[in-house]
Amino acid sequence: MWAEISPYHLVLNDNIWFKGTNDEHCKEGAYLKYYDTVGVYGYPVNDKKHGYNPEIHPAQQIWFRNKSRTKPGSQYFWLMFLQDASQRFGDWDGSPLYGQYKIAFSINPDIFNAAIFDPLIMNIRIAHRDDLVTREFSTYRKDCDNGLSHTLVVDGRKLVTVNEEEINEHDLDLGIQFAEVTKQQDGTIQGYVQISMVLGDYDTDEIGVCVLELEVIKDKKKIKTAID
């Protein structure tokens, strides 16, 4: 399966993630090597120019582990949300473009001593942005609570805390929600940390980019997240 997108040329030619981007396509860079695992989300198509090869094109969301910073107990990931700027897809990539990341978690706090239980921590930083207009769309910019730190509390226990960097002006660039939270019979709490964003105001060129750096701090023995 191939994955392809043609982002805004300034991002294509000058970025820290995909070096050597030219007619030979992306080469190995600082963060990705051959045989690394990459997640993509977008439109599944058959590309006529590539022999009707099955592709995800445009691949609007791309995510992968930042191995250069990951260490035991603290893992880093890049989460990308992009508009295709090739002007080949019409409304598929037209403005505004709505996107979400939903990071699954599963925690059973009942099997641990409440006095020593540490919540799952997610720290989110906007590493790159162009035409990020979430603030203009109330449904997508809405957080589960006020401020830049958001905590899921169940039965008086803090289970998950999501921290946004302070540069997120007026707390309007991203929408943070805890979604589809359920409690299983054995006491396990599972759900999603939902990160919402919008690229491109109405009738603007397709130059939108939002790249997030996500740090996940957890004890693997206690907590599972789907991004692993």
Is the pLDDT confidence value at 218 over 80? no
- Predicted confidence at residue 35, as pLDDT, reads 84
pLDDT cut 90: percent of the chain above it = 54
Residue 121 confidence (pLDDT): 95
pLDDT of residue 2: 85
Question: 73: phi > 0 → left, psi -120 to 50 → alpha, else beta; which?
Answer: left
Stronger pLDDT, 100 or 20, i.e. the higher one: 100
pLDDT value of position 87: 85
The 10s digit of each residue's pLDDT in 192-216 is 999 999 999 887 889 999 999 999 9
pLDDT the model gives residue 24: 55
In this model, does residue 165 exceed pLDDT 60?
yes
The reported pLDDT for the residue numbered 115 is: 63
Nearest alpha-carbon partner for 105 in 199, 191, 5, 18: 191
> Is the whole-model pTM more than 0.95?
no
Query: Which amino acid type is present at position 174?
Result: L
